[in-house]
Amino acid sequence: MVPTGEHRRLYLFRNTLTLDATRYDLLNEDDLFKSSKLGRNLYVVPNSDLRGYYGLPEMLERPRLRLNARRQLLDFYGYGPYFVSARAREHLLSVDPSAFEFVECETVGAKGEALEAYWMMDIARLVMNFDEQASEFITYAERNPEAPDTTTNPLISELIDIRLMAGFPDDHRAFRFSRYIRCFVADEILVDGWIKAGLRGAQFTPLQRPTAAEMKRRSRYIIPTTWYRRLQAERP
């Protein structure tokens, strides 16, 4: 367990914003999903009537994935469900085997040639709460004060400095927050291991004060505007 007061470093895990990251196609998308691309696990967002979904969707057949490398294949594609290489899958399973769901894809290249299989992936762990009193974030209502649903929509628009609840299991290294639906969250062990393994295709947004090294490695880390301005203001 994480001791009370200990700040585990967390990151949003997202695909790189490059042309390479867009060069994939799910060839049988129209026939693949039983009802929708939404995950098959349903939950109700706390303090609302909103419903959310997580995990892989129900599928009727094996996914068929085409990858068209401009320079080289990446290890991570997509916005959820995601597509990961065998090496990426091995790393994720080695760090947190219960956090992910995978389905093997029939994988081909731009000319239809067979490639080493990639895997459709999504997060299978949902975290309902974090320490909101000790954290900093912006809600949907704060960002959209004139919207008609501000009193009924509890979703979070931006995570800035996030603290987990005391007692959060230290082997839970990847998860989704129930009120933040854009990306999944990974901790420093998973992220550092991804970088050290030389895996490609992902960038990471620090959910706490960025380090000097993270500020310099802009190809790996997406520094939120909030933190960038604060750090700029601190310079002499």
User: Exposed (0-12), middle (13-18) or buried (19+): which is 11, by Cβ within 10 Å?
Assistant: buried
- Angle 83-86-92 (CA atoms, 0-180°, nearest 5)? 80
In the block, which residue shows the tokens 């995601």?
82
Query: What is the pTM (predicted TM-score) of this model?
Result: 0.92
pLDDT of 6: 53
Angle made by CA atoms 184, 186, 190, in degrees to the nearest 5: 140
Tell me the C-alpha distance between 198 and 87, whole Å: 10
What is the number of alpha carbons within 13 Å of residue 57 lying toward its C-beta? 18
CA torsion sign for 151, 154, 158, 163 is: positive
**Partners of 204 in beta bridges:** 13, 221
Element (H, E) at 187: strand 180-187
* Digitized pLDDT (tens) for each residue of the chain, 236 residues in all: 333 345 799 999 999 988 888 999 999 999 999 988 999 999 999 889 899 999 999 999 999 999 998 888 999 999 999 999 999 999 999 999 999 999 999 999 999 999 999 999 999 999 999 999 999 999 999 999 999 999 899 999 999 999 999 999 999 999 999 999 889 999 999 999 999 999 999 999 999 999 999 998 888 999 999 998 998 888 87
According to the model, what pLDDT value does residue 46 have?
87
**Separation between Cα atoms, residue 12 and residue 193, nearest integer Å:** 15
| Alpha helix (H) residue ranges in the chain | 29-32, 86-95, 140-143, 188-196, 212-216, 225-234
